[in-house]
Amino acid sequence: MQLSEAENPVVTILRLIESRLRVVKDDGGLASVLCSQANYDRELLKDYDAQITVSKTSEPCQAQKHTLDGKLRRRIYSLRATIVTIDKPSPSADVGRVMRDKVLEQLLLIIPENRNLPYRTIYNFYPLDSTSATHKAYDATGTGELEPSNVSLAELPNVEYSALWGSDDVRHSESANGNGEFAFMLFRFKIGSKGGESRNEPRKQCLKRVLLSFEGYGVASQGNGVTLKVWNNLSGVWEDAQSGSSGTDQTISSILIENLTNYVDSDGFLYLMARTANPSDGVSPATLHCDFVQATVDVRGITFCDIHTYRDVDVTDVKPFLYKEEIQIVAWLFESIAIS
């Protein structure tokens, strides 16, 4: 691995935290937590329950040789994650110190549990709905495969989004009744800029592997099953067809390893299409059922991270008080160096 192909370790840690963080408030609702590279901004906390920032510390990055010829090296980074909360007047808000401790407990679970897979991000639709600006879900019927920009694709209503949240036998369904028509679903995943990146291109170049999984089934008079395809943004065609023939729930997967940048557009979107394996005969419908869908994305970057130390650093000489926690994280990656 050349360092120029690796994702910034700060971005990787932010992505790890943001994609897995689930903080439940005392009233049972999910806390809104901002994850960013930027410094603490008191104004932002008006709209969020907490803020997490990640940055490099003043400790120098270490480079260690792991072979006598120096071709294999390990880069060790020292990173700092800072949690900031305040007491808020809203009756549904937790006390600032309580919220800080809840976020801390989440980080003390997320980072150690994923210490050997910090480069892996799992994207699904929980807890999104139609207001999402990242992942989107659509359905349609038609006799031919539809491009992602086709106006016939209708976005799912909020109640149907919730059917995609988990593998729980609560399914979203779409039926085609016309002769020769298939039932389609389109899933858009945002795997581009996130966690402080200003452009999508660096993220695309760091992609190592993408696993797309669909759990569900299709039924039609001519045969059951589902066909999956991925949109090649470069050539403008659906590719990598994968299929199943079950009339009950099964998981069908598509694994992308080569030419990954071809599947991500300039906005950082990747599109997965599912359709019934067979069309309607005009008498019996062709129906597509989806229980759960997700994308698992691996990037080239740090291969290990863990918490080194953490401490309270509350600021009580201002009002409202700032409840802060500083967490030092150690991370590293291995790289191959060309020796002339």
The residue extents of the domains of the chain are 3-119+301-336, 123-299
CB 195 within 8 A of CB 157: no
Model pTM score: 0.86
Residue 336: per-residue pLDDT: 80
Residue 199: per-residue pLDDT: 47
Residue 319: per-residue pLDDT: 87
CATH of region 123-299, choose from 2.20.28, 3.10.450, 2.30.30, 2.60.120: 2.60.120
Is 123-299 the same fold as 3-119+301-336? no
CA–CA separation, 66 vs 127, rounded Å?
43
CB 303 within 8 A of CB 119: yes
In the predicted model, residues of the chain with pLDDT beneath 70 are 1-5, 40, 192-202, 339-340
Residue 100: per-residue pLDDT: 97
CB 190 within 8 A of CB 176: no
| CA–CA–CA angle 226, 229, 231 (5° rounding) | 155
* Architecture in CATH for domain 3-119+301-336: 2-Layer Sandwich (3.30)
pLDDT digits (tens, 9 = 90+) for 218-254: 999 999 999 999 999 999 999 999 999 999 999 999 9
Residue 339: per-residue pLDDT: 63
CA–CA separation, 255 vs 297, rounded Å?
10
Residue 1: per-residue pLDDT: 41
Residue 201: per-residue pLDDT: 53
Mode of pairing for the β-strands spanning 50-56 and 182-190: unpaired
Residue 218: per-residue pLDDT: 98
User: Which pair of structure tokens corresponds to residue 219?
Assistant: 């039924």
Residue 3: per-residue pLDDT: 39
Give the DSSP per-residue string, 164-232: GSSSSS--EEEEE-STTPEEEEEEEEE-SS-TT-S-SHHHHHHEEEEEEEEEEEEE-TT---EEEEEEE
- For residue 111, the cross-strand partners are none
